[in-house]
Structure 1
Amino acid sequence: MKINLNTYCKYFLASGITAFVMSCSNTKFLKEGEMLYTGGEVKVENDSISKKEKKALKSALEENLTPKPNSSFFGLRPKLYAYNATKEPEKEKGLKYWLKYKFGEEPVLLGDVDREFNKDIIVNYSENKGYFNAKAKYDTVSKNKKAQVIYTLNPGNQYLINKVNFLQDSTLINQEIQAIKDKSLLKPGNPFDLEVIKSERQRIDDAMKDKGFYYFSPDNIIVQADSTVSKNHKVELNVKLKDNTPKLATEQYTIDKVVVFPNYNLRDAKRGKYSIPMNPDSLKGYEYNDIYVVDPDKKFKPRIFDRALYFDKGDVYNRKDHNLSLNRLISLGVFKFVKNEFIVSDSLNHKFDAYYVLTPRELQSLRLEALGRTNSANYAGSELNLNWTQRNFFRGAEQFKASVYGAFDVQIGGPADAENIFRAGTNAQLSIPRIVAPFRFNSSSAFVPRTNIQIGYEFQNRTTLYTLNTFNASFGYQWKENVRKEHELKLIDVSLISPANITPKFEDLKRNNPYLQRVTDRQLIFGPTYSFTYSTTMLPQKNTFYYKGMLDLAGNITGLLTGANYKNGDIKNIFGVPFSQYAKMENDFRFYHKFSEKTSFASRFIGGVAIPYGNSEHIPFSRQFFVGGSNSIRAFRARTLGPGSYDPRTAENTRALFDQAGDIKLELNAEYRVNLYKFLNVAVFADAGNIWLMNDDIDENGINSRPGAKFTSDFMSEIAVGAGVGLRLDFSILVLRLDLAMPLRVPYYAKDERWVLDKVKFGDGSWRKDNLILNIAIGYPF
């Protein structure tokens, strides 16, 4: 690819001039004597601390400075310019108002900066980090109507912890505090840090709450620092209860009664039917395993509360069990609001009653959904779903869902006999909030484990090719260890695929394409599947991870027992249908990094392999891997890429061969995301990957029908690469995504011509039609 150096020099020169002009142009709007504030900088002058510590201290101090200067982008301030350049709008709506007050930013001036206040912040923060002798000063640097404030900090030496004393007395609560002092966050030799002290007080509070001290608070703990008893910039810490700690906070409480109101609503409360505290003995209730249930209509079986609640009569109060019980009640999915109160019933013996007031959701719902869609394979269509949900099917918070649906996809812009698709089906699912099994399953998770039973049927018609009838059923379990880890085990997952109405046209196509034969083969797939998900994406931190691993073992035990071996021609059937035997594994890794509130980086790697053996020479088409499309490699249309370096243009009828599938998949995606304004986001992305076959596709004449499709040691040369830009409209409940992508590397081109950067011609309409792929989708790709 030739590069015109003069053109690039002119471009960068023009860019530099534009940046300079836009940067300077904001100052012309300032009044006489005003200066644009460009930010504050903190310089740390101390030779006794390391460069790393200086950098961390400097960064933390600059983060605390106020106010923040106007936002900039590569040195430019477009939002400030929009505010300055837009005239005052006459109305509080319209483009001018949006530009000035929604998109634009009012100028931050030097006069808005309280430099003395910032200096005090710098000193106070430094003292909280153990720099007890910190001193600061500031200076203002101005030029061309712009001003920056330089703060200089001389922190002195950082004081270290010499000794930590937990002062003793004879009270019960002090004995409990002494029992946990070995796990203290305050360690001799560590720097004095007010944040660590706050965390230590919270740690003690958490531990006391778990020991029955319900009314205890972190404010009841005081940590006294004494720097006079030690030398060499060291401090001694004394941890003790405050002298004015309320007596109630030092008393250990136990549970007296556990009372559940599972059918509570606000209307009843307004009428005075229920009130807290209340006398449960005067209400129409009954006792079940020490739980008093007030449910006159008996809408719920009491055992669901026995499983969900972790408090029993006589138990010492425990904060963990308190939160665990609330979370499990919520995760049942049948209650809209869950309220919990503890009311003292015996102050002399330190007992209280635990009340659980539950407001049920609508137990039944009927919902009709209609949606339209389009994809990068030139299909547009619609889908209609009718869903019925019953959230208390057997009075045990079992959720039963039944649905019927119909959908069609029409190939737009294609010939008159295009392969339009019609689908219709029904399915039913029963989700039971416990593990139904001959063994005992104990879970101390905040999430209720579930047993899921599902059955369904789908009719699919590709109008000019074939019709498929698919029956499926599954039985398995789903449980979460905690908010990060989730497991799903399907002990049995069965699919029966039966073809009908195969047209002569499709018979013609599959004669020279053996992989198409597998699309309409009668298939029986059954076996266990297991998936594990680990995610930290819900945590408020800069770096988060997501991983999902899946293992699918089909027909393994049956194949072993029957001695099936396709290599010897010994293929076994069940009810006249050959069963599939294979092992499949897929791994999905994602990493997210947040640069700021408005910029982030997202990446994903998918690796999967499916190995047929025993009764199967090939993986069933419905269980193979696919790439391309709006959630994959976006520079290639859905399911048109691969396998390997196979060139789909060499097929007899390329229009009919969209669905390219493989047994091995590698894919890598990366996006840089920027929020421009509230719901408006943009992204720059790159995708790479491909699929491959485990075995060659040999037709009846012994010819490989898809050359280059098999996985070899040369697989890296067959990686497809694409890149593009995207626009995302994020309305929280709905994300509309438009991604425009183009291929950078095409694996089915000649080996020395696969990189196509030198063939990019944005001005050529024919090139744009063949290479620019617009993906319209709902939600983020990953």
Structure 2
Amino acid sequence: MIKRLIYLSFLALVLNACSTTKYLPKGEKLYTGGEVKVDDKAIPKKDAKALSSELKTYIRPKPNSSLLGMRIKLWLYYKTKNRSNFIQKFLSKYGEPPVLASQVDLEKNSEIMQNRLQNISYFQATVSGDTIAKEKTAKAVFTARTGPSYTIRNVTFPNATDNNLDTAVKGTMKETFLKKGDKYNLDVIKNERIRIDTRLKDEGFYFFAPEQLIVKVDSTIENHQVDMIVSIKPETPAEAREIYTIRNIYVYPNYFLRDTNLHLDKAVPYRWYNLIDPRKTARPYMFANTVLLHPGDVYSRTTHNNSLNRFINLGPYRNVKNKFEDVTPDSPKLDVYYFLTPYKRKSLQLELLGRTTSANYTGSQINLSWKNRNAFKGGELLTVTLFGSTDVQVGGQNSGYNVYQYGIQTSLSWPRLITPWRVSSSNAYIPRTVLQLGYSSVVRQKLYSLNSFTGSFGYQFKTDEHRMHELNVLEATYVKPRNITQLYADSIKKSNNPALKHVIDPQFTLGPSYAYTYDNTTEDYRTNSLYFRGKLSLSNNLYGLITGADTLAGKDKKLFGTTFNQYVKAESEIRFFHKISSGTKIATRLLAGVGLPYGNSTILPYNQQFFIGGPNSLRGFRPRSIGPGTVDPTNADGNTFIADQSGDVKLEANVEIRQKLFSIVYGALFADAGNIWNAKPHQPGGTFGPNFLKQLAVDAGFGLRFDATILVLRTDLGFPLVRPFPSVDGASRTISPSFKNAILNIAIGYPF
């Protein structure tokens, strides 16, 4: 009965949506869109189809939007036109007035399309339009007769003479966009002028503009060819023909709009620039990495733009304004002014976070952060964060074994590389030296408590907008148990799972790490985009070698009274995105990691091990509930809780099809596969081996994403399909998809 009502309601909506033409004014017809026919047999079908699709985008107005042939927005417009109640007023925002055939200007549309064809080499093109009407609707049909396309025969640039500007333009010829044999294209000509101007701006021609270049086209050449002559307009002013150099540079670190006086009498020289800062808000050396122009340098827009980016990335300043002043006495020179508006130096921020996981944990976290954006007046960012969190399980086998965490994290970032040797760079990105110190306490109710101390010192720098390097010269972690309950101690004795004991083992890692990141996914215009991150971590390698540490031979060694961990660990993550259309994208991810303990260790320290499963991993399985290998985490030998599963090796792959549904709502279909393993034999079935592909867990599912740009709320329903271990009764690893086994994940942000 309910199904019938739903069906009838849907049918009624369809019929109502399709009957919108009955509301049209008398004598009017509803415009249903336009089409373009390219009538020229000389053009290949593929090119004709592409031309038709392009020209169609120029037709105005656009018809009313529709979904599966139903003009829902138009129907809403008519039904809510009077806005007699609250619901109608709300729905009226989504309505759309009718687009009438009488609004279509055939002559104007034909003129625009004809002009477009002439701009892309079809000089003899003509376009005509007509309407095809039915009883209540009408569409526009345009016929384009293109004629032959014109190609480039020769391109001529100015001769290199004593004229600096002619010589500079001639010097850009090798990189020209105007290629012999290419079709004439006005857009390419415009881009060529911009290209030349960009090159000239880096050679000192500060006052030059693209409009001062002209490209003359001779289309009288036989065989539908053109000759192009690139030249400088005769009316170009004298200052645009001059090469400018830098005279003086002034930096104002505490500038506000009400300041109108330049205060040049208060300038304090420092190396190659002058600081005007009567209130002493910044140390002079602070800008040595940001002021990239020098007195005597030829003006370069690239260098100048890099300086502006560096001023912003410096940290203490929310706005940067610059001015160039022509101070030509006998030769063309510029004075440069940088006006910096600071942020409020100190700030306090409180964050309250809520979260839930498919392991039935409901959590909350509070962060209290204090920042000083210019701690020592050299652009240093000092951050101190106090945090506390709770994760409480509602139902499930781990109910009552709640997790509490609290601690402090401090960070000091310098906007320069602090090294024994001098390092200089001139790109748009500020290199940074970062010192971090932290303490945290983890309390797992009824089981154990751990103290964790961390510290690191290293560098972060970008070589360009896509590539990021992170080198920690020293990274240290010390974890020590504070309290172990009898319940947990008994579980270790009864269980065959060495991971239980490993969680509470004292851990001491000390060594460097290096990470490289490549990311172009923020560039939305790309059809294909890529994210890659690779990281290599070492711990006590040299010290272990010197001391001859070998735990298997009974030669356990200590550092500062604690047995240290010795390992090599490599991690990599690749994300590849393919845009099918403006609203459809395929997202894929591959994760691989391996840690090799040796010498003083037989297993990676717990805080360096890999985990799998959960909202951002295998979404058909609970967090940290898979592996290692074919180990069954539910077979706990009488334990009343399920331990987190961890391993030394990880392999994971994910694929997701993302489709925009409407407004901010996106749908997704996904599949995940992966597992973790131990590098050395600790548990039966848990060691990485040649059969690793047969031990992968697999799931699939669907979800919704509510993408409001600043916040993405995600819901995923994952169905386990293949588990790494057989069921308790020895049945197949394959699981039939059912809502009984489904895992609901609610999370913030995309999984990758």
Is this a same-fold pair by TM over 0.5?
yes
Please give the secondary structure, in 1, of the residue aligned with 2:473.
strand
Q: Which moved more, 1:252-261 or 1:544-553?
A: 544-553
TM-score normalized by structure 2?
Answer: 0.92
Q: Distance in 2 between matches of 1:610 and 1:149?
A: 65
* Contact 1:588–1:607 (8 Å) recurs in 2: yes
Cα root mean square deviation, aligned: 2.7
Asked whether 1:302 is paired with 2:284, we answer yes
- Residue aligning to 1:539: 523
The answer to whether 1:38 aligns with 2:32 is: yes
Q: 313-322 or 730-739: which moved more?
A: 730-739
Q: Determine the C-alpha separation between the residues in 1 that align with 2:696 and 2:295.
A: 64
Identify if the C-alpha distance between structure 1 residues 654 and 676 changes in structure 2 by more than 3 Å, giving closer, same or farther: farther
CA contact (8 A) 1:662 1:691 kept: no
Q: 1:651 to 1:780 in 2, by over 3 A?
A: same
CA-CA distance at 1:732 after TM superposition: 3.2
Question: Pick from 475, 478, 485: which aligns with 1:493?
Answer: 475
Alignment of 1:271-670 (within 5 A): 274-275=260-261, 278=262, 280=264, 282=265, 284-346=266-328, 348-414=330-396, 418-511=400-493, 512=495, 513-543=497-527, 544-653=529-638, 656-670=641-655
Query: Which residue in 2 is equivalent to 1:195?
Result: 187
How many angstroms apart in 2 are the aligned matches of 1:498 and 1:237?
76
**Displacement of 1:315:** 1.6
Alignment match of 1:257 (pick from 248, 257, 262): 248
Asked whether 1:756 is paired with 2:735, we answer: yes
- Alpha-carbon contact 1:665-1:689 (below 8 Å) kept: no
Q: Distance in 2 between matches of 1:105 and 1:27?
A: 13
Structure-2 residue corresponding to 1:5: none
The letter for the 2-side match of 1:498 is: K
Q: 1:231 to 1:311 in 2, by over 3 A?
A: same
Deviations 1:682-707 (A, max 9, x none): 32231312222134654xxxxx4xx4
Deviations 1:214-238 (A, max 9, x none): 111111111111011x211110001
The alpha-carbon deviation at position 641 of structure 1 amounts to 2.4
- Indicate which of 718, 722, 730 corresponds to 1:741: 718
Q: Secondary structure of the residue that 1:158 maps to in structure 2?
A: coil
Paired with 2:375 and 2:680, the residues of 1 have a C-alpha distance of: 51
- Relative to 1, partners in 2 of residues 1:73 and 1:725: Cα closer, same or farther, differing over 3 Å? farther
Cα distance 1:559–1:65, how it changes in 2: closer, same or farther (>3 A)? farther
- Change over 3 Å in CA distance of 1:434–1:669 after alignment to 2: same
Contact kept in structure 2, 1:688 and 1:719, CA below 8 Å: no
Counterpart CA distance in 1 for 2:319 and 2:234 is 40
What code does the residue aligned with 1:197 have? I
- The answer for the alignment partner of 2:196 in structure 1 is 204
Moved more, 530-539 or 216-225: 530-539
Task: In structure 2, give the amino acid aligned to 1:83.
Answer: Y
Q: Which amino acid aligns with 2:91?
A: L
How far 1:635 sits from its partner (Å)? 2.0
CA distance, structure 1, for counterparts of residue 307 and residue 301 of structure 2: 10
Q: 1:217 aligns with which of 199, 202, 209?
A: 209
Helix, strand or coil: the match of 1:456?
Answer: strand
Equivalent residue number for residue 4 of structure 1: none
Distance of 1:645 and 1:160 partners within structure 2? 66
Q: CA deviation at 1:488?
A: 0.5
- Secondary structure in structure 1 of the residue aligned to 2:428: coil
2:450 partner letter: L
In 2, Cα distance between equivalents of 1:559 and 1:314:
54
Q: Percent identity?
A: 42
Displacement after TM superposition at 1:622 (Å): 1.3
Partner of 2:56: 62
After superposition, the Cα gap between the structure-2 partners of 1:413 and 1:337, relative to the gap in structure 1 and judged at 3 Å, is: same
SS of corresponding position for 1:353: strand
Match of 2:694 among 704, 717, 727: 717
Contact 1:725 1:741 survives alignment (8 Å): yes
CA deviations over 1:451-478 (Å, ceiling 9, x no partner): 1011111111111100101011001100
More displaced 10-residue stretch of structure 1: 638-647 or 189-198:
638-647
Aligned length: 741
2:602–2:680 CA contact under 8 A, matched in 1: no
Uncovered stretches (5+) of structure 2, i.e. residues with no partner: none
For 2:700 and 2:67, how far apart are their aligned partners in 1?
23
Q: Provide Cα deviations, 1:87-129, integer angstroms capped at 9, x if missing partner.
A: 53247xx432332323x33333333322222222221111111
> Does residue 691 of structure 1 match 2:661?
no
Per the TM alignment, residue 155 of structure 1 is displaced from its structure 2 partner at its CA by 1.4
Cα contact 1:327–1:446 (8 A) shared by 2: yes
User: Which residue identity does 1:89 align to in structure 2?
Assistant: R
Instruction: Tell me if structure 1 keeps the 8 A contact 2:322–2:339.
Output: yes
Q: 2:219 aligns with which of 215, 218, 227?
A: 227
- Aligned-partner SS, 2:616: coil
Tell me how far apart the structure 1 counterparts of residues 198 and 609 of structure 2 sit (CA, whole Å).
50
Q: Which amino acid aligns with 2:395?
A: G
Q: What is the alpha-carbon distance in structure 2 between the residues aligned to residue 745 and residue 35 of structure 1?
A: 57
Kept in 1, the 8 Å contact 2:593–2:651? The answer is yes
Aligned partner letter, 2:509:
I
Q: C-alpha deviations, 1:734-768, integer Å up to 9, x for none?
A: 333333333233333469844434x52x5xxxx2x
Residue 100 (1) aligns with residue 100 (2): no
Offset of residue 171 of structure 1 = 2.5
Which residue of the partner structure matches residue 143 of structure 2? 152
The aligned amino acid for 2:240 is: A
Does the alignment pair 1:236 with 2:216?
no
- The CA deviation string for residues 416-446 of structure 1, in whole angstroms up to 9 with x for no partner, is 9711111111121110111111122222221
**CA pair 653-430 structure 1, distance change in 2 beyond 3 A:** farther
Change in 2 beyond 3 A, CA 1:142/1:746 = farther
- Residue 551 of structure 1: how far off its partner (Å): 1.6
Q: Does 1:185 align with 2:177?
A: yes
The reply on whether 1:24 has 2:18 as its aligned counterpart is: yes
Q: Indicate how the Cα distance of structure 1 residues 233 and 89 shifts in structure 2: closer, same or farther if over 3 A, else same.
A: same
Shift of 1:316: 1.5
Please name the residue that 2:47 is paired with.
53
The separation in 2 between residues aligned to 1:47 and 1:416, in whole angstroms, is 73
Secondary structure of 1:526's counterpart equals strand
Deviation at 1:669, TM superposition (A): 2.6
Aligned partner of 1:3 in structure 2 is none
Alpha carbons of structure 1 residues 551 and 69: separation in structure 2 relative to 1, 3 Å = farther
Matched residues in 1 for 2:135 and 2:655: separation?
41
Cα 1:110–1:591 shift into 2, 3 Å: farther
Q: Distance in 2 between matches of 1:488 and 1:36?
A: 60
* Aligned-residue offset at 1:18: 8.9
Per the alignment, in what secondary structure is the counterpart of residue 188 of structure 2? helix
Distance in structure 2 (CA, Å) of the matches to 1:493 and 1:423: 22
SS, match of residue 308 in structure 1: coil
Q: In structure 1, how many angstroms separate the alpha carbons of the residues matched to 2:162 and 2:651?
A: 65
- CA–CA distance in structure 2, aligned partners of residues 297 and 178 of structure 1: 50
Q: SS at the partner of 1:475?
A: strand
Contact 1:682-1:725 within 8 A present in 2 as well: no
Q: CA deviation at 1:190?
A: 1.2
In 2, are the aligned partners of 1:223 and 1:237 still within 8 Å (CA)? Answer: yes
Instruction: Could you tell me which runs of 5 or more consecutive residues in structure 1 were left unpaired when the two chains were aligned.
Output: 1-9, 699-703
